[in-house]
Structure 1
Amino acid sequence: MCVTCARFSSVFFFFCRLWALSSHHDFRWKSVCPSLHSANPKVFTNRDGLSLNSPKFLHISDISLSLTLFFRISLNTLTLNVKSDKVYTRHGVPISVTGIAQVKIQGQNKEMLATACQMFLGKTETEISQIALETLEGHQRAIIAHLTVEEIYQDRKKFSEQVFKVASSDLVNMGIGVVSYTLKDVHDDQDYLQSLGKARTAQVQRDARIGEAQYKRDAVIREAHAMQEKVSAQYVNEIEMAKAQRDYELKKAAYDIEINTKKAESEMAYQLQVAKTKQRIEEEKMQVMVVERTQQITLQEQEISRKEKELEAKVKKPAEAEKYRLEKLAEAERLQLIMEAEAEAESIRMKGEAEAFALEAKGRAEAEQMAKKAEAFKQYKEGAMVDMLLEKLPLMAEEISKPLSAAQKVTMVSSGGSEVGAAKLTGEVLDIMTRLPATIEKLTGVNISQTSLFIYIK
């Protein structure tokens, strides 16, 4: 090769290289530098339908030049800022939506790679990004038009999935795969979203106030319930103590009755047996009444519990809870007064029955004594009556003299030769005593001044 040809070849190669760089083609000078070749894993090359073994030949005079033309297409991941301004939603509200999408040409799928080569070979990354961006933006607008503002704002994941699904099915026909899509921002110029936020804030504040009021109401209800349980437990304890006292009194009364019965069986077997039977009947009645009263108390407690639950289910406001608490306290006080009154009445009745029984036994004993005395009086007749009267004479004298002994000052006036002083007083008493036989004779028909006296020694 001559020097002129060599120079011409160098100049021609230089201009061809500049043309290749300006048009993003790979130009190789096969005949001059056949070993020049480099491969980038992120770049796919195509030879515009030409084979490496069939290069283009350029004949200049006696020089043959072999040229091979390569086209490059990027396999890098492209980040797209998909922005849709003032798009009307399903309800006619204009909003602006911004999404971030990651797309790339699928180099591992030969069919998609061939499709991408047909669509984008010879285009720069900027041009490919713009085509993918416009496609994504169109799908994003279409999906916005089919949804409401609330659906887009509240369920961003659903919106992103719909855009990803629709855009992927369309871009795959261009050999581009959507790696990811994320909704970045949603806003509007009409303050629609701000109004939604205010409404939600007001709703949350309202729920907070309602929750606070309900908590206070529940606290008052729990306090009243605890107070009711305390009062109920106190009443139950008092009832148990009253029951124990009642059982003790009943057993003691039964033992006393048994002892008294054993002591008096020799004298009043029949009467005491009748009294014992009556007493047992009364005890049984009393036991039945106690059981009935216990059942009534249990029913009252159950009714109170039922009313408490019913009222608790219906209480909705703190004022109603306060009213409920006051009513239950009043009910508890009323029940306490009723139970105390009933217990006092029961105690009085039992004491009255015991006293009546004691008086009845005492009366029967006195009647028995009087009967024996009457029998003795029948035997002794007038002598017995005289003996009894003589026993009472000192008492009569005492009763006659009692008014005089109570006098602080006595003034006596003599009417002549009559006695004065102590003799006068004694004479007055003796004069009254001497009039007694006539009075007794009028009452009993017995003249004690003419009847022989019998001395009855006990």
Structure 2
Amino acid sequence: MDLLSNGITLILIVAVAVLVLFLIVFITKYKTVGPDEALIVSGSYLGRKNVFTDEGGKKVKIVRGGGTFVMPVFQQSSPLSLLSSKLEVRTPEIYTEQGVPVTADGTAIIKIGGSISEIATAAEQFLGKTTQERENEAIEVVEGHLRAILGSMTVEEIYKNRDKFSQEVQGVATQDLSKMGLVIVSFTLKEVRDNNGYLDALGKPRIAQVKRDADVAEAEATKETRMKRAEAEKEATRAELERKTEIAEAEKQNQLKVAEYRSEQETAKAVADQAYDLESARAKQEVIEQQMQVQIIEREKQIELEEREIKRRERQYDAEVKKKADADRYAIEQAAAAQKSQEYAEAEANQYRIETLAKAEAEQVRVQGIAKADSERAQGTAAAEVIKLQGLAEAEAKRKIAEAYDLYGQAAMLDMIVSMLPEYAKQVAAPMGNIDSITVVDTGSSESNGGANKVSGYATNLMATAQESLKATTGLDIRELLENFSGKGNVKNSIEDLTSAVKSQKPVEVVEVDTTDKEEVVE
């Protein structure tokens, strides 16, 4: 048991020691940098984030404003400052484009670029060097380009356009400094000098011009001063005269004012005397008005009291009437409710009675309907049987007639026509039977068809023309048929029947008028 406890204790001690050792290693190997520094990590197992690879395949890890763990044995790290540096650039005498020797002083602000490639380039160039060494190398580059720019420009261009000069120096130097991982933040030309007085000579014409302008301006100022002084004296004299005139005018006005004040004083005294009387009368009038106002107020209060009394009586009356009306309304409502209950009970009784009667009548109607339907059904069956028998009889008769027509042919047809003639003659002569009297005007003609004879011949003529019409429309010639079958008894009987029908018509009263002797003949 003791051995087991000792083993566990030993294991715990070893684990704690390993953990402490790991923490110590982690703390000592975890490197951090501020925002103005960059940590350059080289070696193996750099990962992929913030890793720069050059053309030769060499890798370096760059950490800005953060931290990273530097693996022991496999990696090493070095900080690189990203702070800017101020460079004081001075050149010896440089001949300009015109051959004038000048010297120039300038100030440049440089720093390591912010991109990974620029930091990697600067680390390759300056890692392990001091800041002063880095600044010296940069000064040499900037001075070289400054001398080149001075030699390509005139003194006037350098003197008059310093901004352009600074921009050209900065633009040319940036290309070489970028190869070192540096960038120019700004460049300023401080001073341009020459030992031969060229710059002084450039300023002398301007200085002389300025002096001349100053002398002219001074003379103009003196002239203007004298003119202003004379004008001021003139104005002072005129002002003095005007002042004396104003004093005299003021004295005159003063005297007039004194006289006017005295007149106004006397007038005011008279007005005051009159005003006293007016004020006394006005005071009396106001007293009377106040008294009348008091009476008006008293009268208004009295009217108000009377109105309140009237309203009180009205409310009392309304209360009494309302109580009575409420009692009457309650009694009416109770009576209406009782009547409503009674009417409702009566309505329910009537409804029950009506429903009972309606059910009985409906049952009676249903029974009667069933009986009537049975009766009508029997009658319909009998009528249908009768119609059926009549149809069969008519069909049989027509069949017999058709067989007779087929058997007898033209003789049967002639028999039908002859049988029809009496009825036809009757219908033709029927209009003549409806005539009560006819007046005939005779011109004295002796022809047999004139006068009254012509009237009686209307029927026979119509019968004669009817045969022609029948022949034209149907192709049947009755005359020919009669001549061919004149010996048969049925034709003879038909002719006799036709003659009897014509004779049996009502005689017609004919009045004949003779135009020769103006006599009226009645037949």
Q: TM-score range, shorter-chain basis?
A: 0.3 to 0.5
Normalization by structure 2: what TM-score? 0.31
Determine which structure has more spread, i.e. the larger CA radius of gyration: 2
